[in-house]
Structure 1
């Protein structure tokens, strides 16, 4: 009654805008992305003068008494005092984020070791399973436990990925799961093929595509290492790199809730005549399918983000495109300044709608046949919000890419050695960030989609930097004024190599998966090189790893080496929870804006910038510590024996899930 609605709105707008802004000015300690002081100051002045102009109009209309000039001046002085710290801070960072992230990573890993336990007896394992998953273990758990112990498997208790992958399938009856499996593998168009387990032996079904038969045969070899302990069942495997099952958020949430409500168990063993519940492949190919072909089209809105909550940024602001500028609101939730602070959250696309234009899987996938309906598809990897069932890839198990230097230095199970490619001690390696790969992330045919793909962006960033504003890079370096502090400094792209940072990053052979003008443009953009022997990687201290159309099959060999892996990934695999970023590898944001700063920290700086000499001692001890910690940990939890143990446990759970009497099944002492 005292103030009008318009006047109250004006006051509240000024108040709610300035208070959090003042809080940011006085408290922020990690000024990234950079905000020019002039722009921030101008915004406050605009708010002040906007409020002043509104009151002046009221006075002219006779609605308000004139405000004395002295009071107006006093308010202006108070505003200037409040924003003065903005000019004093000069965007200093008082500690390097990587130091903090490495420290936090050690704490996180120690807590993880407490959750996986040091189970030494079957009774402890059964009790741990019951407490963690609120049900009895599946039949055959005692055999699995003995199998794990005989292979010195370290992680016995923590298999949360299996639980989360299979939970929504509890809402589907066993008969329907078996029918869905049969329907998928009976239609070759689906590009899904099956493996049949009968009488303790896994066999590839006859209608598998010839080009992918090696993959299913590799999976069968893996399964046959423990198949004698399994009941009869069928499995449907995705033959493509891309994921296949994208269930809308509301549906998958309901299915998970139903799964938890029906998550029952007993003490019975497998049902009799399980083989009779699985139908044979029909002589006539099926044509019906629930899968939709969305190849060569942007898939983010139609499939990628539908698994996110309706209130998420990906659903409410789906049109954000950030190929040229960083979407700060997309980066902040998983970052500490410029660096990835939470590797798990970095994979969550629900707060990152800009990823729709930053990876080939979303921009233009090569082979993308996807279902909105929950289907039991086993895949090697998947992005966030997809519902495929993860399993250890035959690519790694069958050594399609293998760590086999001249001097394996006790690496277990290596029988093939490559002459002339030793894995030298870390200090003797070349101080270079190295990557070789193909343009296999997605298809770009007269669409320009290649410009957003991570692999092409990495090569452009390393080799084709120019003075164009879009190619300017921000690097965290010691402050010129105070070497005990750090400062984000924006450098023209053409000048960044003058810091002494060395990279050897290139595309091999030819431009793949392109069409029309996009082939020509990429050929002009990139200097193609001849393929190098994979074992040549060990010459370099820093190895970069990126996704292709799916997961990267090179990451595990990188971990086994004495080199330090830098990794950016959209896809996640069966072992992700076992690794700790900043302790076992160096995580990189998919936007790649942190690559130069990460390399500067570990490799050191020795060059010039803006005409001044700049030198920063390399953090080689820290780099070697991460490289060796990743190598040692991988040798304990990412061996072939660990792949077998994970898959064995997964198939015991799948066998229970597809059994008509699943609510009565379980193992008890």
Structure 2
């Protein structure tokens, strides 16, 4: 991937035309020179971030301006407003979550960046949950429609149909969910395509019963930290990651051969609002329930693949006690539940309290799962020289830069393959592969997650955003 990146500004401009069939935004040439001068390794890999702007390119600048005006009038607590005027950056300092605006200011504060900034109003969604699912009938709204935008609260409801309203009628999302065969993730894009997976309605807390969710059905160009495939929020680097950049300390870590061959996860029962009817369906609870010894023993199916292109097929059934030592999963705290569900959760998954971050560093494999939104611990454990087993339906800005099975190990939303996965990683061959993945992820954070990389990603996103309002573009 690195070897094919543009080596000059001219190559970067040509590659942009090739990928997106349009001219790059004003200031792109200067941005590309800055990226080259600062040794950014993946100067061309912005597909996910850039294509997120496409729905908004169908909306006129005057309508987008009216949409922003209407949203600003709402003065919503979970939105931070950042304004850029004559290269000066200000944000709504009275908001509790204003550190999002402060980090954006910090990332864009260098004089060479500021001179490229257009005059803009930027909306940052500070909550974990994204907000924008554009209804096709409002894809090109009128000024009157733009003046009457409303956010609708779907918290503690079942908004699956609203979240998937843009899925094609013939897609699996419109069919009755069926039992899904146990397989390893071979195509992460397909796995995260919500329209292809009706079963996600039950398997992920955000789609099942989100604790908090305010949706808008018009093209509101706001920035969120993560989103599923059916949402239209623009993506930007999470300030939470930046605030916790130094949480991993090499002195607290361990070399691979001193770690235990086991999978670690401990966290709270976030991810959705738990009721007596649904708590066993929530993604975090399901994974822990399926891996703790209290719920065994039961038989599990091990899988094999005859060739690299063939399906995974069962080859052996064993009892869980033979593999139980490979798992250390538990709940730290029971939250986001009604009284009856809380009682059942505490009985089934007795909360064991929090542990220091360093607890995970003793394990060769660390599980990372979505909570209410993206997982804020992801970068820390990528740095920790453990191999990350990642279960997520959420897209983030860095997805263009991280390669499944090279930088991390993808886990399906069903999660049933985790037993065979850990059995394999307990073998000599599996241990070598796990060690290589752990080393790749740690090296990635050192070379692609420098502060200057995050700054340059943010600057490019702002230039793309500015092009939406540039009538010459």
* 2:170 counterpart (302, 305, 311): 311
Alignment CA distance shift 1:448-1:221 (3 Å):
farther
C-alpha contact (below 8 Å) 2:133/2:215 kept by paired residues: yes
Asked whether 1:473 is paired with 2:332, we answer: no
Shift of 1:658: 1.2
Equivalence for 2:106: 221
C-alpha contact (below 8 Å) 2:8/2:36 kept by paired residues: no
Alignment of 1:34-49 (within 5 A): none
Alignment of 1:10-25 (within 5 A): none
C-alpha contact (below 8 Å) 2:227/2:395 kept by paired residues: yes
Asked whether 1:628 is paired with 2:452, we answer: no
Alignment CA distance shift 1:404-1:199 (3 Å):
farther
Alignment CA distance shift 1:366-1:224 (3 Å):
farther
Equivalence for 1:502: 326
Shift of 1:546: 0.2
Equivalent residue of 2:289, what SS?
A: helix
Shift of 1:289: 4.1
Equivalence for 1:342: 187
| Cα-to-partner distance string for 1:5-45 (whole Å, 9 max, x where unaligned) | xxxxxxxxxxxxxxxxxxxxxxxxxxxxxxxxxxxxxxxxx
Instruction: Quote the Cα distance in structure 2 between the aligned partners of 1:503 and 1:160.
Output: 36
Instruction: Quote the Cα distance in structure 1 between the aligned partners of 2:246 and 2:161.
Output: 34
Higher helix share: 1
Instruction: Quote the Cα distance in structure 2 between the aligned partners of 1:648 and 1:289.
Output: 28
Shift of 1:549: 0.6
C-alpha contact (below 8 Å) 1:190/1:289 kept by paired residues: no
Instruction: Quote the Cα distance in structure 2 between the aligned partners of 1:399 and 1:207.
Output: 23
* 2:240 counterpart (390, 395, 402): 395
* 1:451 counterpart (280, 286, 310): 280
Equivalence for 2:265: 435
Equivalent residue of 2:328, what SS?
A: strand
Instruction: Quote the Cα distance in structure 2 between the aligned partners of 1:526 and 1:137.
Output: 52
Equivalence for 2:180: 327
Asked whether 1:511 is paired with 2:334, we answer: yes
Instruction: Quote the Cα distance in structure 1 between the aligned partners of 2:266 and 2:38.
Output: 35
Q: Which runs of 5 or more residues in structure 1 are unaligned?
A: 1-111, 259-286, 329-336, 407-420, 480-484, 605-616, 664-669
Alignment CA distance shift 1:165-1:309 (3 Å):
same
Equivalence for 1:662: 472
* 2:373 counterpart (535, 546, 550): 550
C-alpha contact (below 8 Å) 2:301/2:314 kept by paired residues: no
State which structure, 1 or 2, has the greater radius of gyration over its C-alpha atoms.
1
Instruction: Quote the Cα distance in structure 2 between the aligned partners of 1:207 and 1:172.
Output: 31
Asked whether 1:425 is paired with 2:284, we answer: no
Asked whether 1:124 is paired with 2:11, we answer: yes
| Cα-to-partner distance string for 1:448-471 (whole Å, 9 max, x where unaligned) | 322111111111111155469xx6
Alignment CA distance shift 1:549-1:648 (3 Å):
same
Instruction: Quote the Cα distance in structure 1 between the aligned partners of 2:411 and 2:421.
Output: 8
Number of residue pairs matched by the alignment:
461
Asked whether 1:372 is paired with 2:183, we answer: no
| Cα-to-partner distance string for 1:517-539 (whole Å, 9 max, x where unaligned) | 00100010112112111123211
Shift of 1:293: 0.7
Shift of 1:178: 1.9
Shift of 1:207: 5.3
Equivalence for 1:644: 455
Instruction: Quote the Cα distance in structure 1 between the aligned partners of 2:433 and 2:418.
Output: 17
Equivalent residue of 1:129, what SS?
A: helix
Asked whether 1:583 is paired with 2:406, we answer: yes
Shift of 1:135: 2.6
* 1:291 counterpart (132, 151, 163): 151
Q: TM-score, normalised by structure 2?
A: 0.91
| Cα-to-partner distance string for 1:416-473 (whole Å, 9 max, x where unaligned) | xxxxx2x22211111111111111111114x4322111111111111155469xx643
Instruction: Quote the Cα distance in structure 2 between the aligned partners of 1:121 and 1:351.
Output: 39
Alignment CA distance shift 1:514-1:464 (3 Å):
farther
Instruction: Quote the Cα distance in structure 1 between the aligned partners of 2:165 and 2:232.
Output: 12
